[in-house]
């Protein structure tokens, strides 16, 4: 699970980011253990509701159901627990289902949803998921990946290169591809400061590199941290699920709202207003600033205490 991995290794990641002393590293390890106890383990994997969704709102139907009037638009969900929808209680709340229904309504076509996303996946797992998707290349694919890359300390350049490669494979097969970049892990409240600021720095740097990689491969990037972090930072009780790490149904709903325009635009069916550009300085980006200052303040306090004892 992304949450537990994040807390097991985030202190090590923090050390890599900030060159922290042993004393600060020990503090971060203690913080990660404390937060792990708060988050706990998931009780079950997310539900699945693959099938065909009609513009009328019906679904999921089997692809060979007589009620399916024509060849559906094929839509693939690829990625990690966020793409899989971990945190919801019912299939109707899954982001993939919400998007499939909305795509059917916007396009006025049936949409066949196939979920390849698996909780705990990293960019290294994209190869297997994309291999499966390319057996019947989709018309449209949504990729959300990155949180577990941070928590397992995959080098940022490696993560970005893998994403570029597999987005490129989907594009070469004729699929339109939209990819959500790494969320802001610093919005997860059970991770205490200064650990939270350091994890935020890592996740936002990865998101920036992913954005470039997606564009280079011919996909459409959606900066999830920039667009969603302000909401999750101000409404955590509502937008996080019971584990306080993955989104709740309400959290996935606002995620769907920022992803849908890009998905519809990628296949030429967006009928809404102009798609707004993300903020040039988001709340998430601004929140990166204190991380090194916080670490420096802790180190200064440690040195001061050491001088007193000497």
Is 246 labeled as catalytic in the residue annotation? yes
The residues with which 88 forms a beta bridge, in sequence order, are 86
Map tokens 């390849």 to a residue. 116
Active-site annotation holder among 246, 248, 255, 282: 246
Strands 51-53, 111-115: pairing is: antiparallel
Active-site annotation holder among 125, 184, 226, 243: 243
Neighbours of 232 (CB within 10 A): 25
CB 198 within 8 Å of CB 18: yes
Taking alpha carbons only, the member of 274, 222, 272, 219 closest to residue 103 is 272
CB 151 within 8 Å of CB 2: yes
Neighbours of 238 (CB within 10 A): 13
CA–CA separation, 279 vs 277, rounded Å? Answer: 6
Is 226 labeled as catalytic in the residue annotation? no
Is 81 labeled as catalytic in the residue annotation? yes
Active-site annotation holder among 81, 119, 159, 197: 81
Token couple for 207? 């998101």
Residues with catalytic function: 81, 243, 246
């Amino acid at each position: 699970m992304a949450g537990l991995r994040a807390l097991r290794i985030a202190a090590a990641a923090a050390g890599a980011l900030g060159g922290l002393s042993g004393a600060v590293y020990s503090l971060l390890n203690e913080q990660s253990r404390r937060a792990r106890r708060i988050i706990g383990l998931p009780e079950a994997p997310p539900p699945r509701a693959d099938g065909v969704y009609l513009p009328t709102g019906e679904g999921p139907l089997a692809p060979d159901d007589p009620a399916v009037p024509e060849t559906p638009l094929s839509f693939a969900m690829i990625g990690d627990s966020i793409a899989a929808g971990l945190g919801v209680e019912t299939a109707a709340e899954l982001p993939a289902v919400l998007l499939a229904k909305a795509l059917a309504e916007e396009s006025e076509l049936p949409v066949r949803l196939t979920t390849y996303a698996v909780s705990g996946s990293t960019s290294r797992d994209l190869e297997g998921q994309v291999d499966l998707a390319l057996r019947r290349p989709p018309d449209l694919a949504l990729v959300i990946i990155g949180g577990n890359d941070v928590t397992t300390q995959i080098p940022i350049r490696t993560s970005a290169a893998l994403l570029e490669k597999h987005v490129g494979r989907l594009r070469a097969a004729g699929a339109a591809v939209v990819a959500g970049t790494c969320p802001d892990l610093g919005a997860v409240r059970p991770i205490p400061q200064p650990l939270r600021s350091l994890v935020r720095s890592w996740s936002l740097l990865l998101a920036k590199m992913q954005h470039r990689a997606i564009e280079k491969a011919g996909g459409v990037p959606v900066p999830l941290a920039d667009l969603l972090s302000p909401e999750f930072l101000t409404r955590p009780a509502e937008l996080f699920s019971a584990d306080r790490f993955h989104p709740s149904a309400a959290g996935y709903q606002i995620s769907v709202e920022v992803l849908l325009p890009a998905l519809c635009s990628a296949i030429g069916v967006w009928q809404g207003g102009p798609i707004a550009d993300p903020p040039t300085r988001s709340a998430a980006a601004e929140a990166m600033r204190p991380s090194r200052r916080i670490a420096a303040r802790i180190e200064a306090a440690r040195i001061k205490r050491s001088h007193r004892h000497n």
